[in-house]
Amino acid sequence: MNFNSVDISETDIYNYDPQLLALLLYDHTTHKNIMWCTDDYANMGIGYRAGDEIKIELIIGENDRLIVPRALKPKEQQRSRTRVKAEVFTPTWLCNEMINDIDEATVGRPNVFNTSYPDRTWTPVPGPIELSDKVTWQDYVRYTRLEITCGEAPFLVSRYDTVSGKSIPVPERIGMLDRKLRLIAENIDDYGQWLKWVKIAYQNIYGYEWQGDNLLLARETLLFTFIDYQVEKFGPDYPIRRETLRDIAYIISWNLWQMDGLKCVVPNSCGMKPSSQQSIFEEPQMEPCRGCLKDDIRAHNGIYTYIRDWSIEDEEKGKVRFVDLMKKK
């Protein structure tokens, strides 16, 4: 498997470990695969419509690399997705500026991880990173971060520049997860302890996205980011274990999920449904979604999405409806 490519091959992932690709496509709310949620691929035929699941057989073999990062898509397709879905990716340099502002507020001083310049470049601060008396590196790794409408997750990880599509070397990366992983690498040399804290870092970053192709790209990018940082820390000859990649992919499959961010439900799951106020002997009466009619985020008749509370070991008990985390007005 080519671990260095910006455009990750689904066929390569499948040939390396079919279970790994299955995890990256899994939706823990519906217990099915994530959906396309875009008609960009409808001309491919059966199985490629917006409401269809993204099945493994549809994106490997002759259809390998059907799904590519936005920067590598044809310009007309980029413009179309901007018009139809308001899809606009934040340039990497701007992601860096915004995350730097978060770090300044968190740590209490500027330029914690890098120094940015007016020409939209940045220089990493020489390590090891020093935070503050009030913020330890363990605290920083445990901070929960969420990227809303995450697309390919450029605020979480920065394997490549979102505009040019060019790869970014590990020491120069700026994502919120990248920063956590840098701190871990600078403070731990034992592989077992390193892996323990890397999993904690992954458990504390989240992102949701409507379009399934973007979500798959984001999940793949987070998985390959793990590989990049292991190689950077322990060298290319240190074994990359399938079981470890499955563990990381499992965390990613929970923490990056498919959702309508305005309703906290599975995309397009609201609609006309049988009334719950009628007898089973009556002719079915259909009623619209009250949440959509009243703009009430807690009254939708769609499928509310779940994420995972990793402080609870049991998977079923650790399931949390995302809407229940929203503050009531």
Q: Please give the mean pLDDT across all residues of the chain.
A: 93
Residues 16 and 59 in one domain: yes
Residues 193 and 219 in one domain: yes
Residues 52 and 177 in one domain: no
Residue 128 pLDDT > 80: yes
Beta carbons of 247 and 310 less than 8 angstroms apart: no
Residues 141 and 206 in one domain: yes
Lowest mean pLDDT among 9-18, 125-134, 271-280, 293-302: 271-280
Q: Give residue 233's pLDDT.
A: 98
63-70: long-range pairs with CB below 8 Å, 24+: 64/9, 64/10, 64/11, 65/7, 65/9, 65/10, 66/41, 67/10, 67/213, 67/216, 67/217, 68/7, 69/6, 69/7, 69/152, 69/160, 69/165, 69/217, 70/151, 70/152, 70/162, 70/214
Q: Domain range for residue 78? A: 10-85
pTM across the whole model: 0.94
Interacting residues of 161 by C-beta distance below 8 A, sequence separation 6+: 71, 91, 92, 168
d(CA 62, CA 82): 28
Q: Is the dihedral of CA 14, 81, 208, 305 positive or negative?
A: negative
Residues 111 and 75 in one domain: no
Residue 266 lies in a domain: no
Residue 80 lies in a domain: yes
Residues 75 and 122 in one domain: no
Residue 66 lies in a domain: yes
Residue 255 lies in a domain: no
Residues 53 and 149 in one domain: no
Q: Give residue 73's pLDDT.
A: 65
Tens digits of residue pLDDT in 255-304? 999 999 999 999 999 998 887 766 666 677 889 999 999 999 999 999 99
Tens digits of residue pLDDT in 168-219? 999 999 999 999 999 999 999 999 999 999 999 999 999 999 999 999 999 9
Tens digits of residue pLDDT in 208-256? 999 999 999 999 999 999 999 999 999 999 999 999 999 999 999 999 9
Residue 4 lies in a domain: no
Residues 306 and 174 in one domain: no
User: Domain count of the chain?
Assistant: 3
Q: Choose the final residue of a domain: 184, 214, 248.
A: 248
Residues 101 and 222 in one domain: yes
Q: Give residue 275's pLDDT.
A: 77
Residues 96 and 72 in one domain: no
Sheet strands (E) in the chain: 26-27, 32-33, 114-116, 122-124, 145-147, 205-209, 256-258, 273-274, 286-287, 306-308, 319-321
Residues 97 and 67 in one domain: no
Residue 297 lies in a domain: yes
Residue 267 lies in a domain: no
More confident residue, 118 or 84: 118
Q: Choose the final residue of a domain: 68, 85, 102.
A: 85
Q: Choose the final residue of a domain: 42, 63, 85.
A: 85
Residues 59 and 111 in one domain: no
Pull the structure tokens for residue 73. Answer: 């898509």
Residue 83 pLDDT > 60: no
Residue 232 lies in a domain: yes
